[in-house]
């Protein structure tokens, strides 16, 4: 099957990424390492990339910046139990020399990491409060193998169109309340079964106990 032409009917769609604490890393593997087939087993490599970056520049990536000592953070992020966030988005964008547009469903906000630094392409990441998925350009009738996952920054008009389509996807998800309000959500620690309310309690519990395996639930 021949790849579809860029003019074929299609648009920006959400590609759901496995939810196993490494979704951010999986999204980068999908976008920049060859599609969904590259997801299995690739997260440890990208976690190691992040660890090497912070260890390589401890003055910039200090305890004040990372929230913990640099060496401790480097070990922490290489554990498959820990989630990625803004730091990892920025570092992996730099690693791949791409801009990263991170859309937040709840607020509708988009932060573009690496913008203005001369990077040739942009990838689109979607965040629902707990989980990262990928936004791609898909074509009518085409399988995922033909997804366009990165977009040239030199073509401003085309990039603006893609960003507008992505914003429509985000707006639809927000209207459907397809996000987790991390200030108010309820979760249960799957290690000790303690109920917790909000991200702050979850973080405090993890720091106090070392437990990092949580599941969201709705209280009665």
Alpha-carbon distance values, 140 to 3, 12, 109, 194 (Å): 11, 11, 28, 46
The DSSP call for residue 133 is E
From the list 23, 128, 133, 147, the catalytic residue is: 23
Q: Can 42 be counted among the known catalytic residues?
A: no
From the list 82, 95, 111, 211, the catalytic residue is: 211
Q: Can 26 be counted among the known catalytic residues?
A: no
From the list 131, 147, 149, 205, the catalytic residue is: 131
From the list 8, 20, 57, 155, the catalytic residue is: 20
User: What gap in Å lies between CA 132 and CA 102, rounded to an integer?
Assistant: 9
Place of tokens 């590609």: 15
Do residues 88 and 101 touch, judged by C-beta distance below 8 A?
no
The H or E element spanning position 76 is helix 70-77
Do residues 34 and 94 touch, judged by C-beta distance below 8 A?
no
* Tokens coding 161: 């169109």
Catalytic residue positions, numbered: 20, 23, 131, 211
């Amino acid at each position: 099957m021949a790849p579809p032409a860029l003019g074929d009917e299609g648009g920006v769609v959400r590609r759901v990424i496995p939810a196993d604490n490494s979704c951010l890393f999986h999204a980068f593997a999908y976008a920049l390492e060859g599609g969904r087939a590259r997801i299995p087993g690739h997260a440890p490599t990208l976690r190691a990339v992040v660890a090497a970056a912070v260890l390589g520049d401890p003055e910039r990536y200090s305890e004040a910046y990372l929230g913990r000592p640099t060496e401790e953070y480097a070990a922490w992020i290489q554990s498959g139990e820990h989630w990625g966030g803004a730091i990892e988005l920025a570092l992996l964008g730099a690693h791949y020399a791409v801009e990263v547009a991170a859309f937040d469903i709840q607020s509708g906000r988009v932060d573009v990491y690496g913008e203005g630094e001369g990077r040739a392409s942009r990838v689109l990441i979607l965040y629902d409060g707990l989980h990262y998925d990928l936004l791609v350009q898909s074509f009518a009738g085409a399988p995922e193998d033909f997804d366009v996952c990165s977009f040239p920054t030199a073509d401003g008009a085309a990039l603006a169109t893609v960003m507008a389509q992505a914003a429509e996807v985000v707006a639809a998800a927000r209207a459907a309340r397809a996000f987790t309000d991390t200030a108010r959500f309820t979760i249960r620690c799957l290690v000790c079964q303690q109920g917790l309310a909000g991200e702050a309690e979850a973080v405090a519990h993890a720091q106090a106990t070392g437990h990092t395996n949580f599941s969201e639930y709705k209280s009665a």
